[in-house]
Structure 1
């Protein structure tokens, strides 16, 4: 397996001092959509010592960086990822949704030398000395509603220092309980997948529940720093939220609407639609 820097020079996956781009520690924020991960990652990034956690492996981001289907494409992209995601102390940060992690490891296995490697082995190779921080929401219904609104408006994050109306924030949204139900089921599966990953690999991880993060913000951030074994250069530095709250009256109104509909009805209707699609597809 070979890795190349932006100048085409070969690099090796080694933590030796001569490999300047490779981090000495990696903070992997394991997440699902609308879990509060933007708030957590932006806050940690602003501290400038916990890496700069971003979604480097979003499908659209990979396309923009000409990473489509092969390991060499991935290796040419990785130096850019290390530069963008690292802080001066050589700590690297990254945010991974479950699906993005699976896509990354699948891409890596197109390298014959990694074909038999486990997900953890691949993550540890690309992101040395990893610490895993798992963020989830306690209320999956509200998370699913947030996802439904986000997909319709295209607004998923509002920086803390942003003033004015985000682009598309005034876009009209439509309540669709079936979509919310399906988002909720998907979020639950992905949370379970992350937990199974930690359990199967006997991995310690720091769990952050969004509702607790909002309620006890600074203590929760300090707990994450302690788990990651990172000390602030200035213990007196103020820890401020990195994003603005997005939920509004629409979220609360949709929650009331959704709670009026038995989920058993939505489950049955969802199954019926899937069965009809399969039946009609076979008849073509």
Structure 2
């Protein structure tokens, strides 16, 4: 069995857990918001489950290949899938998490709020949405979404990114929409999420991580683990940001 993500393999499972985990949470995210970094950091503590993007197609396919399911009813399948995930992706202290992008909410057969029985929510977002849009554009063009050797091993030839004012603008609009999706979702469910701003997490990683663990009520680890994810922002990112701002000023008529 060749998995699309090696972290979906049984060697990354926690010991079997029976029943409903006492602490359940959703890592609410958007593309390129830093959710990979935060999810891995929480996982490496050993205290917060492994909040992966389990409803994304590649993850669903991996786990369906691992386990197989009998039902053809979409809601029954989703419930059985989450229950099975809880048995192997709940940390020994009883914490289970999953990560969901705003863009996936509308296509889910079940509401995470219902299937996880009123979970807690950690909302990771970026203060600088333009840089997020630039990162989003680069990732789509190159196919490199995460640098940890999980999906794209080091040394493989990558497509070279090319600047596009239109693409960055499109991604900026998508990210604005995604932020509204989460705001509306939280409002409908009366949820007050724990908010993590990516730039703050980068500036003080330990404080950001410990704040999440405190929100989950699990205490602090003996030592704070490294994130396990390498940042991808570089000089090219800054050049694209500057160029986009110039192009946008040129596009708008002088007042």
Match of 2:211 among 209, 223, 229: 223
Q: 2-side partners of 1:230 and 1:133: how far apart?
A: 14
Structure 1 residue ranges without an equivalent (≥5): 1-18, 109-121, 267-284
Equivalent of residue 62 in structure 1, options 55, 60, 63: 60
Q: CA RMSD in A?
A: 2.7
Task: List, as ranges, runs of 4+ consecutive aligned residues in structure 1 with deviation greater than 6 Å.
Answer: 66-69
SS in 1 for 2:107: helix
From the CA coordinates, give the structure whose radius of gyration is larger: 1
Q: Which residue of 1 aligns with 2:89?
A: 85
Deviations along 1:161-180, whole A, 9 cap, x unmatched?
99x83534x32121111011
Q: Offset at 1:241?
A: 1.8
For residue 222 of structure 1, report the CA deviation from its aligned partner. Answer: 1.3
Correspondence for 2:185 among 176, 190, 197: 197
- Choose from 156, 160, 166 the match for 1:178: 166
The answer as to whether partners of 2:52 and 2:99 remain within 8 angstroms in 1 is yes
Q: Secondary structure at the match of 1:51?
A: coil
Whether 1:211 and 2:209 are equivalent positions in the alignment is no
TM-score norm. by structure 2 comes to 0.80
Residue 6 of structure 2 corresponds to: none
Matched-pair contact (CA < 8 Å) for 1:54–1:95 = yes
5+ long unaligned stretches in structure 2 = 1-16
| 1:177-198 deviations in Å (ceiling 9; x for gaps) | 1011010111011112212222
8 Å CA contact 1:25, 1:127 repeated in 2: no
Relative to structure 1, is the Cα distance of residues 88 and 253 closer, same or farther in structure 2, using a 3 angstrom cutoff?
Answer: same
**Aligned residue number for residue 26 of structure 1:** 24
- In structure 2, what is the Cα distance between the partners aligned to 1:212 and 1:32? 17
Deviation, 1:62, is: 2.9
Residue 238, structure 1, aligned to residue 242, structure 2: no
